[in-house]
Amino acid sequence: MEAIADRIIPPDPQTPGGKDAGCAVFVDRQLAGPYGRQDGLYLRRPFQPGAKNQGQQSAAGPTQRYRTALAALDRTCTAKYAGKLFAELPDNDKDAVLSGLESGELKLDGADGQAFFEEAVRDVQAGFFADPIYGGNRDMVAWKMIGYPGARYNYLDWVNRHNERFPLPPVSITGRAEWTPKTR
């Protein structure tokens, strides 16, 4: 998942990529929690294919879809790239695999590769821009990149000031790392 996150959000000189920003940690935590377990959703049969706007219509939740698709992805890469897993491929081959999934040209045995790609992109993006308390956006890198003030209690003076950089660093729900209590 880290290798996928780093290709969806590649590192550049100013900003770390998806791996170093903690996007895979975010996805892992989401899959281990209520989202992954489908808590609160109606999960009784019959499961029928629905319209795309109805979302996923199956007993398999996000956790199971990820497990199935990641295993199928590694099997496909192993067969196509001389025994190499996705994470072991050079970046240009990783990009080719992901492009194939996106377009639907690359098929995964036992998983919908195109649907997996869409879900992974959505989840990695959510991890990149989420509050760091959830495991992604490490050191608030995404918020710093876009100039988002974070969970500040009040920045009303800046709401109508367009195209001006907010002068203060972003704040997470838990505050900033440098705001640690002093011990005696």
Phi, psi of 174 (to 5 degrees): -90, 5
Q: Kindly state the tokens that stand for 143.
A: 């918020």
Phi, then psi, of 116 in degrees rounded to 5: -65, -45
**71-100 residue pLDDT tens:** 999 999 999 999 999 999 999 999 999 999
DSSP state at residue 18: T
pLDDT per residue over 36-72, tens digit each? 888 877 777 777 777 777 766 677 789 999 999 999 9
- Using the 8-state DSSP alphabet, how is residue 139 labeled? G
This model's pTM is above 0.75: yes
Distance CA 133, CA 123 (A): 16
Structure tokens at 112: 């919908």
